[in-house]
Structure 1
Amino acid sequence: MHRFRKLSIAFSAFAGAFFGEIALNIACGPEPDPYDYYVSYFHNNVAGDGYAPFSFTDLRFLYDEEEPGSESRINSAEWAEYLGEAVRPADVHAAMYRTDAATDSAIRAFLETQAAPLPDSLSENTYLQALARNKNARALYLFAKTAEPHALAAHAGYDHYWNPEPRDTASMNVLAAQAEALARQHRKAPFLRIRYAYQAARMYHYAGDYANCVRIYDRWIDEVPATTALKGWALMLKAGALRRVGEPAEAAYLFANVFSSNPERRVQAYKNIHYIDVPVEEILAHAQSDNERATIHAALGFRNADLDTATLKTVYRLAPGSPLVATLLVREVNKLESRLTEQSPYYQGRWGGWGFYDGSTPASAAQAHARAIIGFCRQLSADAAYPEPALGTVAEAYLHWLLHEDTEAAALLGGLAPGTLSPRLADQYRTVDLLVRARALETSQPADVARLTETLNWLDTKRSEELREAMERAGDEPGYAFWAQKDLRFTRTATNFYQSLLAPHFMASGDTALAAMAMLKADIPSLGHAGSAGKSLLSRISWSAATFWQEQLPPTALEQLGRWATEGMDSPWAPLFGSLLGDLIGDDYWDLLGTAYLRTHAYGAASRAFAKLSPQFQRESPVDWYGGEEQPLYPDPFITAINDYPKRFGGTPLTKAGFAKAMADLQRRIAEDPGNAASYYFQLANGVYQTGAFGNAWQLISYHWTSTHNYIRGNYYYAGDYHDARQAAAWYEKARELSKDPEFRAKCTFMLAKCEQKRYSYPSLKAYYDGGFSYGNRPDPFWLFSQRNRYFGELETHYGNTAFFQAAVRECTYLADFINRP
């Protein structure tokens, strides 16, 4: 991103490990992905898809707004079963749910006259042909289509609430009465009876006649066997009517019944339970069985984002074989992932920062909860009351891994036979096994790289399969919407493994080149996505991977990558990473290498790298977002300014290659013209100072900038210059040493004072906001630091009579406060 970044909160799964901000990165990066905002390896659909929308998430009301069942598909299947005669459910769906107004008119004409032709797309439709032969089914279809516009008007969307149109309640009441009469007429034909009764209940409900809506359900629907989904749909209408006539607890109870029985209305029922918001005891008073009580507890517990053992144990006690048990268990495991990976002693320092939980769950509480869930997992496995008790064993093994208890985890996994597990649980078993084996990388044990590679190849295969399926579903869906799909679980597992485990291991062992390869491996989907051919490396990978390459690779790592790309990868990791190096050498590579040399002040080497850029290569200049025309901000690294803000930018472009040449020329002149060496050192110091976060030329050594870079240190190998101005201070000191001119020495001393100011930083974003803005009765800690600046004292003592000192006192409030101290 080549613009000033607005101050916004964005999550980067990898940032914390190396940039000091695990959960939040103040930048213009991607918005938080609601499906990937903490490092997770335990898939939330292990227990099945029936309750997947209620998986753990702390960024939205539901993990998924989509119902786990399709109402239209269920209804189509019921119609096809009723009609028989080889009627295909897909044909029912096409005729009932996939038509426009014109097609509906053509269908009505065909059914009413038997002479009007059908559109070509429906001419062979088995459902419509069956309706033409079945008088009662045809009449039901035509009646439903007549009532449908009134139901749709009741759900006119968001604008309807601001600009409501009067409902035709008179027509709706007429239709309701007709539907009830037809239900009575077909009282011995359950399929027809319940559908007419449903239409009657619906019309009364939308007309506001809630008493009649309840009466219709009790008279015509309640006794119908629960073999049709329409009974649940009708029960939703009764529950809504009871809510409006002042029976909220019974309404919530009925919504809970639909929540349990009708996956196609499960999300809608869940929302209504919580919208009603009555005490759980009042709802439970209506329950008729332990299963109903378990459902009520679970539906309320799914809203709880805090650690919750009580709901899990209660539901298990009431209904140990229910799928709700597994869903609640996986929720608690996912909650612990977010807490333990951010706050446990093992992850402190690696995952520190201002996370989404911000210390709200102490590490001790999260660990205690993990122990409690481990105990529950053992009970689940031992009781064998849940249909797949091995879920408890796999979950327990994973929790031990989270707690860094790998021996226990390995023993549990060793007691299972993966071939006997359901496919999803077997996949989870392999994932946990991979994590346990990968731990050897972080210990003194020898890592079995071959075995890890084998399992990672399995993971890559799973990732490829789900991506192919997702691409087929997505079609022309925009890129961000595609990557944010909820079901890319293996893709997230692979990304988390490579970026949050393998890359940190390589960084900790000092192998930044292999860490870079791990970041690329995590991005295989991005590297190969449609439309990426011919694009540069950094434009084809994710924001987190590109940022790592731009910020973490010193010249030695980039040189190593270049050798691997041209000579082959001589490493045990070659089978995993070697194929990624084929198109590494290009403009992005030479720009990265040249920039890395700028950061290490190897200006000649930087010039040689930039010379290999293609003629068409060009980096956009950052622009002023807050200016009217978004004017480009050109660097002017050799100016001297008393105040850093407002920044003084240049009027003409300056490339990195031009900057490298200018700095190399200054270094050469020191040797060739020693009499003016002080001036050359001063200009060199300016050049380095202005490329810091606080300068006007940061874009010459950094690919990103945010205002918090001035106050919060990033863990960069060039942080000494970018944040602390250390090399600038060394050259300002050298310039002052070589000069006898008081005015020049005063200027050098003041710049040394500015460099000294840069040594102050906040350890985290939270600390910045707490200390930088919430002073209360305390003085600004940065101001206190500035008043101890030793160079301010030297300026006052040795250069107080210089013109430069007088100008600096007028412009620099920190210096003025120092001079005017009590």
Structure 2
Amino acid sequence: MTWKTFTAVCGVISAGLVSFPQNIIGCGGGIDPYDYYLSFFNQYAASQIQYKPFFYTNEQFLFDYEEPVSAAEVLAKEWVDFTGKAVSEKDADAFVMKFPAKDINTLYYHIEKKTPATLPDSISRNGMSQYFLKNKNLEALGYILYAKKVEPHVTEISQWEPEKRDSLVMDRLLKNGLQLYAAAKSDLFKLKYAYQVVRLAHYNNRGNDAIKYYDEMVSGNTTPSVLQSMSLALKAGALFRTGKNKEAAYLFSKAFHQSQAKKISNYYGFDWSVVKTDNPKSYLALCKNNDEKADMLSLFALKNPDNGLAFLKQIYQLKPSSDLIPTLVVREINKYEERYLTPLIGKEYNTGILGISYYYQYSGKETDSLLRKEKPELNAFIEFVSNLSKESKVKDPALMQLSAAYGAYILRDYNKADSFLAPLKTAKLNDRLRDQLMLTNLLVQISAREKIDAAFEEKILPSLKWLYSKAVKNEKEKGEENVYYYGNGEQSQWYKFYRNVLVDILSKRYKAQGQLDKAVLAIGSPESLMPDYYDQSTEFLRDQLNGRQAEGLYHFLAAKKFTPFEQFLVTNNRLKIKIVADFAGTAYLRDYNYDKAIEWLQKVPGQNKVIEKDPFKELLYDQEERLPGDNVTTNKLAYAKEMKRLQGLAKTDAKNAAQHLYKLALGYYNVTYYGYAWNLVEYWRSGADGYYIPKNATAFQKDYYTASTAESYFRKAMDASSNAEFKAKCLFMMAKCSQKQLQKPQYGDFGSYDEYSRKTDMYLLKFAENKYYAQLKAQYGNTQFYEDALTRCSYLADFAGK
């Protein structure tokens, strides 16, 4: 018998799940629902694991789809208690969950009829079997046999297809259950049989009977058992099926709070029962007292993706001791991280796209609007949890004070954050809260510091080492390395906290200070714990540093004269010195410093990858794929040597200077984004870029996307020649370059599609109205090149035709 089968035998399937698919998670790639906003607050800090499915994520219906507390385990413990703790939970679980009915039947008749028993050793040695052999409790054994008969008819085999149930057999079993209920000698077994009867009626689509059987057979039975809440959920499901939504929601809410088991199931039932257009007050009207109102409000709060401070205040007023308040408080913190901290960090330091590429990217106007909207709410939240921390009514006042401190950090009120943290540093806290205190304190220290210098690095090094140890703790214990923490586990969160501190806080501070070497090392440190398929530190190195900076980083790493802080970063890092050396040569190619490029490219033997294209190919239209018949190959070193040779010839060979300058211009153009041999200076190229300069572009990126240097050399070549055909060709190539300098509108820069569309139309007109076409037509319209170009360039043809 499988775990799922056991859940049916012991009555773990709630009515709310019948006829509805659960665990519906979309297939395929996309946003990580556990890592789409910047976070530094441990969701497990509330320490109530039964509420893990309801931690915050706005990208899934639930944070986790596995019941944190198994009803099967709860029922196994109840059977252990029934035996007077004479058996282990393992044996009780195995007896009810795994043993086949035929063997239980053999055991029953052996005890009743004293017939010889031929049982497998695994069963005969089981502690539960020994208990029944010794105590001969046929009532309990008979119930288990009956439950096994019921099981196939109330078990959901597939969540995607409707169940095929034999209603006649179920009716016979229900009738038999009523007889057994009447014959039961104790309230405990009356409750167990009543549960099975209600269950059969519910799953056999006899909703009114299920309600009646619950009211007559369960409601008056006060025997403590998880079956009480499970039976109540069955009645709630029957009410839902008979169209009594409000009554169903009320009972699902009660069932949710009565037991640690079946939290997800009862939450689904509540969610399905609530009609979205109804006023919640109409559901609260069914509650009998303030506790029930608070309990139901907490479920409404768990459903709420927006700011929930109003819910928190109401719940606290009605039931200050509610054990869901800590979870709801942490959920609110996560919402402020998503809606305030993430866009704020993106705006600070004006560092552009540096750090984790979160799913949501905000423009300046959107960020300012969002921050203005959320700030008053966040201030009110800080005041609320601060007041809660001063009272003894809540279960976790230290968590409330930590939440206030963290909220003040988000608001950048570091003095207030320190005032909240100070008394906690000497307070007695559990491990999770102590860890959160240390992390929050580190964030406040770094953010409040105007400049990060060597003295401050030394000060925070112990905290960074501690945070690193939290990120790798479990893997060190297992003896494993380079584990990528993906998912919603607590260990995964600590890896992300370490990554976020290094990448989104320290690296941005270093970049803002102009220390790109430490910025790239800060990015590379958390990457040392990940597989090699994603390498943001190398990407940052190649995107943000120039040749001089790359050379400086290389010499810094090669010298090995590190402070303890620097040693920590270098030791625990993905970025290695050979990657820096390879890039230094490439970076000098980008800077057009060919002497230095040759020097560095010669230092990295084996790194000069063959490029199967001619970097001096003359193309009147842009082409990325290798052309048929192009048998030329090159590499970065050969290209650098040829460009250096051409630079020299352009100065010394005056007779052929125009040709040398034209070939140089081709060499410059072909290593732009639009060029034939772009991979001499770049490592990767997106087909979606071009015709605009990225925000915060480096000097290399500006020329890479605008071909400005190539244009200037085509002009020099034209000026150095007196040949009209050659001049026409140079002028046409200048026109190609100038088109790249006209910035294409980007949708994200506009408030509406209509505005974006209007600007795009204007751009296309300007694109075709090239500033060089008039000169080309007027001065060189009688050349053969011009005639050929008219047939090959639609833009020029349109201009000439106009």
Query: So what's the TM-score if we normalise by structure 1?
Result: 0.83
2:387 matches 1:379? yes
Contact 1:729 / 1:752 at 8 angstroms: preserved in 2? yes
Corresponding residue for 1:144? 147
| Structure 2 letter corresponding to 1:201 | V
1:355 aligns with one of 360, 365, 368 = 360
C-alpha distance after superposition, 1:575-609 (max 9, x if no partner):
421323698244x4443333323322234544454
1:264 aligns with one of 261, 265, 282 = 261
| Structure 1 letter corresponding to 2:400 | G
1:594 aligns with one of 552, 574, 585 = 585
CA distance in 2, matches of 1:682, 1:335: 58
Mark the CA change 1:778 to 1:661 in structure 2 (over 3 Å): closer, same or farther: closer
Mark the CA change 1:820 to 1:603 in structure 2 (over 3 Å): closer, same or farther: same
Task: Give the SS at the match of 2:572.
Answer: helix
Corresponding residue for 2:168? 170
Corresponding residue for 1:567? 559
In the TM superposition, 1:262-411 aligns within 5 A as 262-278=259-275, 279=278, 280-344=280-344, 347=347, 349-350=350-351, 355=360, 359=366, 362-411=370-419
CA distance in 2, matches of 1:690, 1:397: 55
CA distance in 1, matches of 2:553, 2:454: 25
C-alpha distance after superposition, 1:6-55 (max 9, x if no partner):
xxxxxxxxxxxxxxxxxxxxxxx984221111111122222222323222
Corresponding residue for 1:496? 500
CA distance in 1, matches of 2:474, 2:703: 44
Alpha-carbon shift at residue 777 of structure 1 (Å) = 5.8
C-alpha distance after superposition, 1:555-589 (max 9, x if no partner):
33433443344331434622421323698244x44
2:620 aligns with one of 639, 642, 646 = 642
In the TM superposition, 1:40-189 aligns within 5 A as 40-48=39-47, 49-97=49-97, 99=98, 113=110, 115-118=117-120, 124-133=125-134, 134-152=137-155, 154-158=156-160, 160-161=161-162, 166-186=164-184, 188-189=186-187
Task: Give the SS at the match of 2:424.
Answer: coil
Mark the CA change 1:180 to 1:187 in structure 2 (over 3 Å): closer, same or farther: farther
Mark the CA change 1:354 to 1:180 in structure 2 (over 3 Å): closer, same or farther: closer
Alpha-carbon shift at residue 614 of structure 1 (Å) = 6.0
CA distance in 2, matches of 1:254, 1:819: 79
CA distance in 1, matches of 2:652, 2:29: 50
Alpha-carbon shift at residue 340 of structure 1 (Å) = 1.8
CA distance in 2, matches of 1:294, 1:810: 77
Higher RCO, 1 or 2 (CA under 8 Å, sep at least 6)?
1
C-alpha distance after superposition, 1:86-131 (max 9, x if no partner):
311133334444x4x9x676666566557334365x6643234334
Alpha-carbon shift at residue 511 of structure 1 (Å) = 1.5
2:213 aligns with one of 201, 213, 216 = 216
CA distance in 1, matches of 2:667, 2:104: 77
Contact 2:36 / 2:360 at 8 angstroms: preserved in 1? no
1:196 aligns with one of 175, 182, 193 = 193
CA distance in 2, matches of 1:542, 1:105: 55
Alpha-carbon shift at residue 778 of structure 1 (Å) = 6.0
Mark the CA change 1:111 to 1:566 in structure 2 (over 3 Å): closer, same or farther: farther
Mark the CA change 1:677 to 1:267 in structure 2 (over 3 Å): closer, same or farther: farther
2:782 aligns with one of 801, 804, 817 = 801
Corresponding residue for 1:11? none
Return 375-384 or 776-785, whichever deviates more: 776-785
Corresponding residue for 2:16? none
CA distance in 2, matches of 1:255, 1:620: 67
C-alpha distance after superposition, 1:356-404 (max 9, x if no partner):
6773962211111111112212221233321222323222222222122
CA distance in 1, matches of 2:169, 2:185: 24
| Structure 1 letter corresponding to 2:568 | L
Mark the CA change 1:729 to 1:107 in structure 2 (over 3 Å): closer, same or farther: farther
Corresponding residue for 1:26? none
Structure 1: which 5+ residue stretches go unaligned? Answer: 1-28, 527-538, 622-633
Return 486-495 or 334-343, whichever deviates more: 334-343
Contact 1:342 / 1:351 at 8 angstroms: preserved in 2? no
Alpha-carbon shift at residue 491 of structure 1 (Å) = 0.9
Alpha-carbon shift at residue 242 of structure 1 (Å) = 0.6
Contact 1:259 / 1:269 at 8 angstroms: preserved in 2? yes
Mark the CA change 1:81 to 1:143 in structure 2 (over 3 Å): closer, same or farther: same
Task: Give the SS at the match of 1:264.
Answer: coil
Mark the CA change 1:764 to 1:423 in structure 2 (over 3 Å): closer, same or farther: farther
Mark the CA change 1:262 to 1:659 in structure 2 (over 3 Å): closer, same or farther: farther
Task: Give the SS at the match of 2:117.
Answer: coil
Task: Give the SS at the match of 2:688.
Answer: helix
C-alpha distance after superposition, 1:432-487 (max 9, x if no partner):
10001112444589862222111111111211225558x79xx99x977x523443
| Structure 2 letter corresponding to 1:92 | A
Alpha-carbon shift at residue 498 of structure 1 (Å) = 0.5
Corresponding residue for 2:678? 698
Contact 1:595 / 1:656 at 8 angstroms: preserved in 2? yes
Contact 1:504 / 1:515 at 8 angstroms: preserved in 2? yes
2:772 matches 1:791? yes
1:464 aligns with one of 472, 479, 486 = 472
| Structure 1 letter corresponding to 2:140 | A
Mark the CA change 1:143 to 1:747 in structure 2 (over 3 Å): closer, same or farther: farther
Contact 1:564 / 1:581 at 8 angstroms: preserved in 2? no
Contact 1:53 / 1:64 at 8 angstroms: preserved in 2? yes
CA distance in 2, matches of 1:111, 1:610: 84
CA distance in 2, matches of 1:820, 1:779: 23
Alpha-carbon shift at residue 804 of structure 1 (Å) = 2.9
Corresponding residue for 2:544? 552
Alpha-carbon shift at residue 240 of structure 1 (Å) = 1.0
| Structure 2 letter corresponding to 1:118 | P
C-alpha distance after superposition, 1:385-426 (max 9, x if no partner):
212223232222222221221122122212323541232222
Task: Give the SS at the match of 1:140.
Answer: helix
Alpha-carbon shift at residue 241 of structure 1 (Å) = 0.8
Contact 1:756 / 1:789 at 8 angstroms: preserved in 2? yes
2:230 aligns with one of 220, 226, 233 = 233
CA distance in 2, matches of 1:563, 1:729: 35
Mark the CA change 1:581 to 1:398 in structure 2 (over 3 Å): closer, same or farther: closer
Corresponding residue for 1:577? 569
Q: CA RMSD in A?
A: 3.5
CA distance in 2, matches of 1:659, 1:39: 43
Mark the CA change 1:52 to 1:136 in structure 2 (over 3 Å): closer, same or farther: same
CA distance in 1, matches of 2:294, 2:541: 50
User: Max radius of gyration: which structure?
Assistant: 2
Return 486-495 or 796-805, whichever deviates more: 796-805
Alpha-carbon shift at residue 755 of structure 1 (Å) = 2.1
Contact 2:624 / 2:676 at 8 angstroms: preserved in 1? no
Mark the CA change 1:248 to 1:444 in structure 2 (over 3 Å): closer, same or farther: same
Mark the CA change 1:118 to 1:659 in structure 2 (over 3 Å): closer, same or farther: farther
